Amino acid sequence: MSTLQQQDPEIFNLIKQEELRQRDKIRLIASENYVSKAVMEATGSVLTNKYSEGYPGKRYYEGQQYIDQVESLAIQRAKDLFGAEHVNVQPYSGSPANLAVYLAFLNPGDTILGMALPHGGHLTHGAKVSISGKYFTAESYSLDQESGRLNYETIREKALACKPKILIAGHSAYSQVLDFPKFREIADACGALLLVDMAHFAGLVAGGAHPSPVPYADIITTTTHKSLRGPRGAMILCKQEYAAAIDKAVFPGLQGGPHNNTTAAIAVALKEASTEAFKQYAAQIVKNAQALAATLIDNGFNLVTGGTENHLMLIDLTNKGVTGKVAAKALDAAGIVLNYNAVPYDTRKPFDPSGIRLGSAAVTSRGFKEEQMVQVGKWIGAVVADPANTALQAEIASSVRQLCAGFPAPGLEHLI
């Protein structure tokens, strides 16, 4: 980045500092990952110069000879990878993708039913602070207070009572596999469309480490980063009968021209996700998460749902006598990066909640295996037990750097 260094040294230096942070710290934020150098190169390509309102073969600007091929490749690769009938690769991110589904099938005031935000849902599944909760009648289902898991009979009762037009299955902080056949039955019973938001576990689905929602859902939204290990973008997969409505909702309903550089990077990531190596990666994500979960449980941590079947886990720290925010900041100082998070039935405020959320996708991209995850779990236990001990944090941060040096991060090989 010599040109950037000369032209804007301030931004150049900040990027370089961020590179070192990503190299030297253990990144456990469940929504983050490392992309390959190929994905980064596509993201930073000349495709960012081109404007392309419309869809392949039906554009409003000329000069689309190569852009159409790029987008068509991304679409076909997504269809092949997930077995989808129709795919739109233009949404800028997961939130606009969900909003496009609502625009396609709802009128203001119509009812949606999704997982409550404090129980592991997403802002766009009907949270009152989100447009999804302001423009629509948003109902929610919660986790069982004793088991910390979904009760599908309770969801069915709620759905029959409120008659949503869209039933949402998906999460941002639920560590168990969703029962897509049961969600399909519930949607049919109340006459709703079934929307699955697989943003968090799309990479696990692609790699065969998680059941696929494609046979059951009417529409599926997903980001293309997180466990799928692509750029910051999104896709909508749907049955062919909903294709026209979805495409019209994305453009011209919500967006103008797509980000062609992102579309190309999505295509690259989808090609990578179709390999045998990616299948092994997806399986290791789950193994690593379960090894970390077991270590944390052995160290007295209270995991919501009692464990994990995917890449993430949510921990209620109430029994540790420390808040999620205090723990997250102490762990960051120790070189372990995660986020504080509300837990089901939390009595604390969202900006200073009782829990932390962590995931295994990024460290698995570095090559961590179960052995390393056990060590990470022990470090987390030590820091949370004494969150004010800055000397301990510095000592662990040094050990973290040494461990990370043996597992180069994808895309950052030039820093070795």
Residue ranges for the binding site for (6S)-5,6,7,8-tetrahydrofolate?
117, 121-123
Catalytically annotated residue among 25, 77, 226, 229:
226
Q: How far apart are CA 368 and CA 377, in angstroms?
A: 13
- Asked if 241 is an active-site residue, the reply is no
Catalytically annotated residue among 23, 51, 92, 401:
51
Three-class SS of residue 399? helix
Pair of tokens at residue 387: 């969150």
Pair of tokens at residue 157: 């009762």
**What's the first-to-final CA gap in the chain, in angstroms?**
17
Q: How far apart are CA 342 and CA 379, in angstroms?
A: 22
- Asked if 184 is an active-site residue, the reply is no
Are 29 and 173 a contacting pair, CB within 8 Å? no
Pair of tokens at residue 332: 């960051």
- Asked if 51 is an active-site residue, the reply is yes
Catalytically annotated residue among 223, 263, 305, 308:
223
Catalytically annotated residue among 156, 182, 232, 369:
232
Catalytically annotated residue among 19, 32, 41, 53:
53
- Which residues contact residue 351 at a Cβ distance below 8 angstroms, ignoring those fewer than 6 apart? 325
- Asked if 232 is an active-site residue, the reply is yes
- Asked if 158 is an active-site residue, the reply is no
Query: Which residue numbers belong to the known binding site?
Result: 117, 121-123
CA 412 to chain centroid: 22
Q: What letter does residue 212 receive in the DSSP assignment?
A: -
- Which residues contact residue 103 at a Cβ distance below 8 angstroms, ignoring those fewer than 6 apart? 249, 253, 254
Catalytically annotated residue among 24, 71, 197, 247:
197
Three-class SS of residue 309? coil
Catalytic residues: 51, 53, 197, 223, 226, 232
